[in-house]
Chains A and B, each alone.
Chain A
């Protein structure tokens, strides 16, 4: 399982390709993310950003290519039963936050956060509770622990979703447009939580349409278009001095706002 042949980054994606029928959504993508690094993925709608992110935790498995996390190949080819067990295991290390939160409406905030740690990590009720209290304090929602998600605002829901992911103590966090479904005045509270995670050196891969946010928290920015990484670099270069015409065109539209 451990790859000793090549010095690998914390998260490594090699020659990733993905097709839906004849539609090539990802074409030979390579990406390395070091521990503690924060990478933003930007690009026009339909460029494959979500598909790439969802390939990392096998929600949308690649057609070909490899995904590695800390020396373990995520998308190993295994017989169905072993594959299922393997994927369930590695997903515990990969937190993911969705545009539409995907909180469990039939559980309270506490239930949402404690479910997976109790079921998968064997935590006792008391341990899981302590974890929920700790994670909620982090996202500033200690007073909402016994609410149902339907009683929360969008920004609060997303912060609970982040707390739920963090309760699994993931090695890396994936964000797929975490603030796109929020009213503008609620975006900042979620961004603040993400910035705080950045300060704690959480490894993060963030798909976003918010260029200011990407510029202020990310170490590296990837620009994707039509299934390829057109250009990547530190935000200072990417936002001020991109080399590719396609990147410049995209940023002209998105930075002028």
Chain B
């Protein structure tokens, strides 16, 4: 059986919708992983041990186990304890927390790399520890971490395909459904791959734009 891409246009609509969900889930999980990463980093570095300990255990679990398992746990497992999340929300939370843990590692390192003179400059003006952290240290740490964090965001985009297993109708699942109707896996997986590639290009463009924007303020 030869290749026949003429079957693809008929599924443009559903592939595009799938791509839309992939973008939505990547953006939502990306935002969660960004702010979650900052919160985890601050707790890991400055938190009371009663907060630090659970965050450390949590980080260990999220880094040490497969993302797929984490998604299953959040979507299917939590139902047993009475938390019935929609698939999209479960996917965003799973992906978002997973990458928040990785972002937190990056942010911790870059917080520690902020020059001691910055603390002195701020404290000398009368800023408290908390104010210094919020207004001086964290903004600088976040700026420094945008490039490596961008790599995490691209990984997040690609890993968003995993949420197809809990039934989010994103790009990969849309392709699979088209395949189950046409028996044309090569064509549709390739079409999906092409869509991921385009989204990736857009994401990289956004990241490059951000990097340029912050270059002056480093």
Q: Does A91 contact B123, Cβ atoms closer than 8 Å?
A: yes
When C-beta atoms are compared, the residue in chain B nearest to A167 turns out to be B125
- Indicate if A107 sits at the interface (CB-CB under 8 A): yes
Chain A interface, number of residues (Cβ within 8 angstroms): 31
Q: Does B135 contact A115, Cβ atoms closer than 8 Å?
A: yes
Q: Which of A88-111 contact B (CB under 8 A)?
A: 88-89, 91-92, 94-96, 98, 100-108
A100-B117, A106-B139, A106-B140 in contact; A164/B216 too (CB < 8 A)? no
- Indicate if B218 sits at the interface (CB-CB under 8 A): yes
Q: Does B126 contact A106, Cβ atoms closer than 8 Å?
A: no
A98-B117, A115-B135, A119-B135 in contact; A106/B124 too (CB < 8 A)? no
Task: Please report whether the interface of chain B is mostly helix, strand, loop or mixed according to DSSP.
Answer: helix
Q: Which of A56-75 contact B (CB under 8 A)?
A: 57, 59
A165 — which chain B residues lie within 8 A by C-beta?
A: 124-125
- In the bound assembly, the distance between CA atoms of A148 and B115 in angstroms comes to 17
Give the bracket for the number of chain B residues in contact with chain A.
20 to 34
- Interface mask (B114-125 → A, CB under 8 Å = 1, otherwise 0): 010110111111
Q: Does A116 contact B140, Cβ atoms closer than 8 Å?
A: no
Q: Does A120 contact B125, Cβ atoms closer than 8 Å?
A: yes
Q: Return the contact of A57 from the options B122, B124, B127, B214 (Cβ within 8 A).
A: B124
Q: Return the contact of A120 from the options B127, B217, B218 (Cβ within 8 A).
A: B127
- Indicate if B129 sits at the interface (CB-CB under 8 A): yes
- Indicate if B145 sits at the interface (CB-CB under 8 A): no
Q: Does A92 contact B143, Cβ atoms closer than 8 Å?
A: no
Question: Closest approach, in angstroms, between the C-beta of A170 and any C-beta of chain B?
Answer: 10
Q: Does A148 contact B125, Cβ atoms closer than 8 Å?
A: no
- In the bound assembly, the distance between CA atoms of A116 and B122 in angstroms comes to 8
- Interface mask (B28-40 → A, CB under 8 Å = 1, otherwise 0): 0000000000000
A106-B140, A119-B135, A151-B216 in contact; A84/B125 too (CB < 8 A)? no
Q: Does A96 contact B217, Cβ atoms closer than 8 Å?
A: no
Question: Closest approach, in angstroms, between the C-beta of A83 and any C-beta of chain B?
Answer: 12
Q: Does A104 contact B118, Cβ atoms closer than 8 Å?
A: yes
Q: Does A168 contact B125, Cβ atoms closer than 8 Å?
A: yes
Q: Does A148 contact B121, Cβ atoms closer than 8 Å?
A: no
- In the bound assembly, the distance between CA atoms of A52 and B122 in angstroms comes to 19
A88-B128, A115-B135, A116-B127 in contact; A106/B120 too (CB < 8 A)? no
Q: Which of A117-139 contact B (CB under 8 A)?
A: 119-120
A84 — which chain B residues lie within 8 A by C-beta?
A: 128-129
- Interface mask (A146-172 → B, CB under 8 Å = 1, otherwise 0): 001011000000000100110010000
- Indicate if B136 sits at the interface (CB-CB under 8 A): yes
When C-beta atoms are compared, the residue in chain A nearest to B121 turns out to be A102
Residue pairs across A and B with Cβ atoms less than 8 A apart, 23 shown, are A59-B124, A88-B127, A91-B124, A91-B125, A92-B125, A92-B126, A102-B115, A102-B118, A102-B120, A102-B121, A104-B118, A104-B122, A104-B136, A104-B140, A105-B140, A106-B136, A106-B140, A106-B214, A106-B218, A116-B126, A150-B217, A151-B216, A168-B126
Q: Which 4 A-B pairs have the closest CB atoms?
A: A102-B121, A92-B126, A116-B125, A102-B117
- Footprint of B on A, CB under 8 Å? 57, 59, 84, 88-89, 91-92, 94-96, 98, 100-108, 115-116, 119-120, 148, 150-151, 161, 164-165, 168
